[in-house]
Structure 1
């Protein structure tokens, strides 16, 4: 199948390192294509560098503009935006300002406007979906995520790719556009095998825990594919007060069978402050759990990592697995309890498939890959170098 057009990778501010690695894997994959003569050669199909430089300039007043440095005419563009990168700054009236998700989103729209009418197609890869936590309306509230998706669609974006969206039903806001929310289950389980050699996913030795009722679907998938029991917590809140825009949690109530002597995996879409995750891990240890692992797609750690350092030293948490889809602070990457899950190669495969308008079913649904991984581990042990991305 012929590609839609030459690939152009555009890294928004804060996504340069991730995009550079995606470019490396994309180059490697297409080099293998040519060696095996799987596809015909098309203009621009194989290049050393698929990236297209852009400049998101800021004026001293805080206003901005986007300038694309190379031609994008006829290209199939993939704009990669990490809206959670808090390390990016800009000058405003002589003061350093950290870029918020709003700033990153505005820069994304500026780049889209700079490319509109010239490129063949525009695709947005936004690992952490903008305003995804504001996905539904309670009382008189804004519907930020739905409106942002409509806005991107109206700007001419053909496909929006995200990972583990807080609520995938936000796709209903743009029923005519391409929207994919991809799981990271396989990559996390693969990294767990690499980091914990004696890990044993078997009934009676392992258990999956959902930290709240909202994430029960995600935890059910883990439990079902691994064939282990499932437990869940529900958050008892004080609905008479509002603190930082939400009702404070009074207690975490557990629903499930005994966890005594079991290894526990707490799964969620993100760690924000991490207080709830640590409270649940402590509850599991008090109930007799052997080891406690945490697995999330996005490790934000908005309040820093001191509380996790303390929990690790106290033996409450053994390991936290999170992906490299968003910015991770240097101190987090150096923490002995943190394990980084690499998604760069997977994103490169995704881009290559979309560029050919090929089916994404095998990439989106990780069930078969997980089954093969479990079978390989059980029969002949695990060779990490032979694992699929």
Structure 2
């Protein structure tokens, strides 16, 4: 469902306010530009209503900061009134480019620092907002979502903490394991998939990709990503394959059992383009290993699709994979920090999700259902049909 297709009939229950923490400033500005444009062009019945005071504004971004003392301690500060507002707070916990001074030393902000700033801003609102909604594209501590020994359950604790602070809704993208929402069963939790944005970015950059089951296959790099791969394959009408990781459970290296080999389950790959889809690219070693095995099985081209591109070990390993012909393109979203070096690579494609997030915020502020927005099946089918013609 597009913004132009929606006809809102309900007056927004609260004024819209968007707080984009410093980690998410660029995405926040893009979202704000879309909403300002849409509201000036449509829903004129709301524009002059006294019940909708503040419906039209030049910007919905609010002035909020988290200044720090020389000791590294900080506080949250909102310089505008939030009374009777629907607040949407955006935070990118993976933005390591931001720094602060600690007793004369320069520290890069960690996920813990970003999460603390989020809590500070929620605390600064002091319960005066009508509702508080957190948009956290990468769910904080989502990789620590289950207990296999005597260890912490950080993601569940985080969700319960936000609930206790008065957060009404949490919107995240492609959670590592969406079942973690069971930690807050009666609170709002939406896990959004950017599948449409992946398909659109791929078609726009590589229009010779044919969405035909004899020419394309979707691959899950491990058992954890199988649900994503099955959904993508079903929507675009192709087959799915899977790798599973054979690990050495007698050894622990850097907190995890090392991977011995990737084993493949699926149909023949001869001459087919392949889409490897996962929630994140961390170091990229596993994805490149999978890509090599796909090429050994005579795959034609390999495209890597991932919601979050962390590239924790740098870009050299991908540069070499491109040079060796192992990978064709890498697609990740702009939901988290992208380095200038990454954006300059010819092999990299950025899938823009800003318009989608703006649509979710605008719809929720009108107290309308987002069910159709969360299911992109129809939009993908229409887009591919148009592309085929």
- Normalization by structure 2: what TM-score? 0.95
CA distance in 1, matches of 2:194, 2:297: 29
- SS of 1:58's equivalent in the other structure is coil
CA apart distance, 1:17: 1.1
CA distance in 2, matches of 1:198, 1:120: 49
Native 8 Å contact 2:46 2:55 kept in 1: no
- SS of 2:23's equivalent in the other structure is coil
- SS of 1:309's equivalent in the other structure is helix
CA distance in 1, matches of 2:190, 2:43: 29
Could you list the per-position Cα deviations for residues 234-257 of structure 1 after superposition, in whole angstroms to 9, with x for gaps in the alignment?
A: 001111111111111111111111
Q: Which residue of 1 aligns with 2:297?
A: 287
2:378 to 355, 368, 384: 368
CA apart distance, 1:212: 0.1
Q: Which residue of 2 aligns with 1:338?
A: 348
Could you list the per-position Cα deviations for residues 242-286 of structure 1 after superposition, in whole angstroms to 9, with x for gaps in the alignment?
A: 111111111111111110100000000000000001011111111
Q: Which residue of 2 aligns with 1:159?
A: 169
Q: Does residue 377 of structure 1 match 2:387? A: yes
CA distance in 2, matches of 1:327, 1:119: 29
Native 8 Å contact 1:116 1:156 kept in 2: no
> 1:318-329, aligned counterparts within 5 Å?
318-329=328-339
Q: Which residue of 1 aligns with 2:90?
A: 80
Segments of structure 2 that go 5 or more residues without pairing to the other structure are: 1-9
- Normalization by structure 1: what TM-score? 0.95
- SS of 1:258's equivalent in the other structure is coil
Native 8 Å contact 1:33 1:39 kept in 2: no
Q: Which residue of 1 aligns with 2:227?
A: 217
CA apart distance, 1:288: 0.8
CA distance in 2, matches of 1:202, 1:195: 18
Q: Which residue of 2 aligns with 1:12?
A: 21
Q: Which residue of 1 aligns with 2:56?
A: 46
RMSD after superposition: 1.1
Q: Does residue 278 of structure 1 match 2:288? A: yes
Q: Which residue of 2 aligns with 1:134?
A: 144
Native 8 Å contact 1:132 1:165 kept in 2: yes
Q: Does residue 106 of structure 1 match 2:116? A: yes
Q: Which residue of 1 aligns with 2:102?
A: 92
- SS of 1:15's equivalent in the other structure is helix
> 1:15-30, aligned counterparts within 5 Å?
15-30=24-39
Summarize the Cα distance change of 1:161–1:40 in structure 2 as closer, same or farther, 3 Å threshold. Answer: farther
CA apart distance, 1:290: 0.8
> 1:258-277, aligned counterparts within 5 Å?
258-277=268-287
Segments of structure 1 that go 5 or more residues without pairing to the other structure are: 380-389
CA apart distance, 1:13: 2.0
CA distance in 2, matches of 1:129, 1:5: 26
Native 8 Å contact 1:75 1:121 kept in 2: yes
Q: Which residue of 1 aligns with 2:4?
A: none
Aligned length in residues: 378
CA distance in 1, matches of 2:33, 2:336: 18
Q: Which residue of 2 aligns with 1:61?
A: 71
Which ranges of 4 or more aligned residues in structure 1 deviate by more than 6 Å? none
CA distance in 2, matches of 1:185, 1:55: 33
Native 8 Å contact 2:127 2:166 kept in 1: no
CA apart distance, 1:40: 6.1
More divergent stretch after superposition (122-131 vs 225-234): 225-234
CA distance in 2, matches of 1:124, 1:356: 17
CA apart distance, 1:38: 7.2
CA apart distance, 1:289: 0.8
CA apart distance, 1:34: 4.4
- SS of 2:19's equivalent in the other structure is strand
Summarize the Cα distance change of 1:207–1:38 in structure 2 as closer, same or farther, 3 Å threshold. Answer: farther
- SS of 2:270's equivalent in the other structure is coil
- SS of 1:298's equivalent in the other structure is strand
Q: Does residue 226 of structure 1 match 2:236? A: yes
CA distance in 1, matches of 2:304, 2:48: 45
CA apart distance, 1:55: 1.6
CA distance in 1, matches of 2:126, 2:277: 39
